[in-house]
Amino acid sequence: MVIAAAPSVPLPRSARVRHLGPNWYAAVMGTSVVGTAGAALPLRVEGLREVGTAVWALALVLLVVLLAGRALHWTHHRDQARADLLDPAMAPFYGCLSMALLAVGGGAVTVGRDWIGVRAAVALDWVLFPAGTLIGLAAAVAVPYLMAVHHRVRAAEATPAWLLPLVAPMVSAAVGPLLVPHLPPGQPRETLLLACFALFGLSLLATLLMLPLVFARVIGSGPLPLALTPALFLVLGPLGQSTTAVGLIADRADGVVPAPYDHGLGVFAVLYGVPVMGFALLWLALAAVHVVRARRRGMGFSMTWWAFTFPVGTCVTGAAALARHTGLAVYEGLAVGLYALLVAAWLAAGAGTVRGLLSGELPAAPRPAPAAPRPVRGRTR
């Protein structure tokens, strides 16, 4: 979404949320992950956990405000809400609602418990985790259906945002294991853990079907439009989140899943996570050079900058999981380095969003998506 000119006259309160699309939930995701990723770091810094808890509390407030704003949006601007669903550029962002709920719920158990207590944190997550999971599964079915039946998109129009509804179940797979110790021993714990493993597989296989389209779009049709270039970072989401998920599932497997599967999950966490994290670093470098190129060509701030946050945060937690399971210092250093990048990205995206809100330039109406470039054909004789 590109920032439009500020209105010259005050708008009614309901009109101000007309263009408050589901992409705004990315701000909740990107804020919450700063706290949870900081808590996952193998390095202990004085005061870092307290700051992370405060950031998570901010994410909780943002979630409540956005839920209220989106409720007004659906109440007063149903035509725009339906238009968003039928817009191939906006519909994938409906997966962000699921991930925002899950990110805040997981953060409650990880760091929020320091302020609200373990019982309240677990109770909050038991509300947000099922809601986020059900919404994520619905988005994983509904958005591809809309793309096939109503949107009629072409492969040349593929963007990394198409991954958003597919990666939402992977976030559930990473958050669910946090609740396993809070269930009665026996089948309840094993059922939830294996359900998370099933969500991991569901999201992974769907992502593997979509990633080639995104890569082919970037290679075959040229760079993304300047304002959409930060969306390349969204590819890091399923990579880092899947590594995080298998690591957390393996952490909870002992005494929950019968032998030898408990040890097998630990082995799988390493055999899967190491190569996937390698590919994530490759994609991070590729996305970074695209962003540098776009910045030199005049790319300004837009809400797509929030793509710099949550996906990088999942790589932080993924690297931290590999550090736990391998004991290698290189993964500890990688987690710390990626966390520094995450904090810088969050500050940049947050500052730009605050400036846009204070000036009245946000929320802004999205511009029409640019037409897909025509393929270049060689002349034959």
Taking each helix axis as running N to C, give the angle between helix 164-175 and helix 187-220, from 0 to 180 degrees, rounded to the nearest 10.
150
Does a structural domain hold residue 376?
A: no
Number of domain units in the chain: 1
Does a structural domain hold residue 39?
A: yes
Does a structural domain hold residue 6?
A: no
Does a structural domain hold residue 309?
A: yes
Does a structural domain hold residue 266?
A: yes
| 260 phi and psi angles, rounded to 5 deg | -90, 10
Q: What is the pLDDT of residue 376?
A: 45
Range of the domain at 58: 15-359
Note whether 362 and 356 are within 8 A (CB): yes
Block means of pLDDT (10 residues each) for the chain, 381 residues, are: 42 73 96 97 91 97 97 92 90 96 98 97 98 97 92 85 97 98 97 98 96 91 93 98 98 96 97 98 97 96 97 98 97 98 98 94 66 45 39
Note whether 60 and 104 are within 8 A (CB): yes
Does a structural domain hold residue 372?
A: no
Does a structural domain hold residue 369?
A: no
Q: What is the pLDDT of residue 155?
A: 80
Entry pTM: 0.91
Q: What is the pLDDT of residue 108?
A: 98
* Residue 43 Rama label (left phi>0; alpha psi -120 to 50; beta): beta
Does a structural domain hold residue 37?
A: yes
Question: Could you tell me the CATH number of the domain that includes residue 306?
Answer: 1.50.10.150
